[in-house]
Structure 1
């Protein structure tokens, strides 16, 4: 009688934890990954510290999540501490095989789980979603930040990066070996979105000017103030700039546009669902960030076949834009260089075939399975 086949391993359960549905690139991609994993029949529970946020009605719509009860109206100001206080109970209840830390801002929660739960904490896979060099910070801040990254390297089990140059960046910053780093191109796009953006007809022109657009949270990291200053210097009288996104700096930025005399040529649209779909209505994407990882909006602009002007805000930007073949890169914080790039920007100059090939590397169809394979490998190594 032939021996019985070995029993199948139990299904893998991976818990993703997020603060809320508040708009953010890390959160948007994490919600899309969870949705995709569930559509593929995988066990992917989601923890949310609170239900608030505009993404509850678009990318997060109908996505069931575990949420602790909270009656504190000001919890938004303490959301990380709230998550650290409430997540251990959820982990003990759900007993996930692995925790997915979706971005840099959640690393403190991941480290706290390791310290609080000890040997009962599941392995943690942490996605590095932002620049680790952080040259925008003061020397003493960078000193502390580098030591914080070393702490992560000692306690977090595995890291994922979003583009090839991040492998060396993660290894240098955290001190981990290459075996603890996996590069998975950031799943900011889908095949359907790429096809839709490429099929969008060119909108009718209503004037001779160029149509610039920026998409992102109106917060210090994005340095929209620099963009406004550069736009005032480098744009022509018929050029227009549309800012899609909201955030704490909006009122100050609107006042700055007034002071610069460009308020009639700058439109603040606020948060918009599916902002990538607005790209075909414009000619040139602007990105003025002080630091990023692999900016989703740049991937979306590649998919939409739009010209790109961006700061060199991470080690990955050169690879992403093929060292200038797919867009213009300027130094971080250099208003003169950004203004010159704005003045020189020309609609319709994107390399269509090359930008499409680059965009197709960064789809959720390509990445979702690679993430899950990484999780499965980590679970096997832990069990061995």
Structure 2
């Protein structure tokens, strides 16, 4: 089957990884996928199977061109691909794909990756308008928490809804990388207000933990995080190495004493899932998607802490001083590894394809 996967931008992000994992799986299953990115934002080291066709409609983000040219270029790209099914990831790709598929009479699956409140007001209105016009058919969500946030948004609309968790699929085409040595706590994510890394720096300064805090990623908050670490006297122990290749992130995860994620909101973080599946101890904020990500029934993998309770995060770090790397409960770890498996991810998405 010829399937087009549409993503807003190409960069090292969770939605991009999910789309590429799906494309790779479709090739392995004998389908013909085309990955279409509206524009290229940054380089990334994703492995893409040779049978996947990749297109970038624009070489870079140009707001006027993105607004005016994305739809006609997407329509042409879908025709070139001979697409029989379109699956869109991220909200702008969802909107443009809905219009293109309505024009072409193609079936569409869209995927929401973040809670509704994180979308702009115009995006929310456009999405609801397209639903009322019958441009949306099947809507998937990266977590039940994201699904719940859209409950009233789609009220009264005849849509099919499905939660499909991300998966952890190991890197391809690279040699294995040994765990990074050292006594350190790890965080992974864009340096932004959403990821709330400032809380970790404050907790480190307040705690008795003497190791390092390593934060992998890049973003607009780098300067403010560096200034905070300097002001609190922990600049020598707060490491900001920037964006790393997937294999390098895995190496940092394998060597970390624990993985910390104090995000203010999430859809379902790939970095967190990789930590869980790799059996790295996790400490996360108590926002709905984070709790969901580490919970099986009434059991929890690692720790869940109040999002703004700096003392609680500092106490968690204190407990790791001078002790071996904590081991989460095996039964919870095994259940979550199955939930975030590549096989389950592929089965969930292929169940949405029409019968050939």
How does the TM-score come out when normalised to structure 1? 0.76
> How much has 1:218 moved relative to structure 2?
1.6
**Equivalent in the alignment of 2:353:** 375
Q: Are 1:48 and 1:67, in contact at CA under 8 Å, matched by a contact in 2?
A: yes
Structure number with higher strand proportion: 2
Compared CA separation, residues 98 and 64, structure 1 to 2 (3 A): closer
Distance of aligned partners of 1:316 and 1:121 in 2 relative to their CA distance in 1, 3 Å threshold: farther
1:239 and 2:227 correspond:
no
Between structures 1 and 2, the one with greater helix share: 1
Indicate if the aligned counterparts of 2:116 and 2:149 stay in contact, CA closer than 8 A.
yes
Distance 1:59 1:19, change over 3 A: farther
What's the counterpart of residue 265 of structure 1? 237
Return 146-155 or 326-335, whichever deviates more: 146-155
| CA contact 1:165–1:319 (8 Å) conserved in 2 | no
**2:307 aligned with 1:335, yes or no?**
no
Give unmatched runs, 5+ long, in structure 1.
1-11
1:317: how far off?
A: 2.0
Aligned residues: 343
Unaligned runs of 5+ in 2: none
CA distance in 2, matches of 1:147, 1:77: 19
Matched, 1:364 2:342: yes
- Aligned equivalents of 2:319, 2:305: Cα separation in 1: 12
**Where do 1:1-384 residues align within 5 Å?**
12-51=1-40, 53-55=42-44, 57-60=45-48, 64-68=53-57, 70=59, 75=61, 80-81=66-67, 83-84=70-71, 86-102=73-89, 106-115=90-99, 118-134=102-118, 147=125, 150-151=128-129, 153-154=131-132, 155-164=135-144, 166-175=146-155, 180-189=160-169, 211-236=184-209, 238-274=210-246, 275-315=249-289, 317-318=291-292, 320-322=294-296, 325-345=300-320, 347-376=325-354
What TM-score comes out, normalization by structure 2 length?
0.82
In structure 2, what is the Cα distance between the partners aligned to 1:330 and 1:61?
A: 39
Structure-2 change in CA distance of 1:257 and 1:86 (3 Å): farther
Greater Rg, structure 1 or structure 2?
1
Distance 2:100 2:143 in 1: 32
CA RMSD between the two structures = 3.3
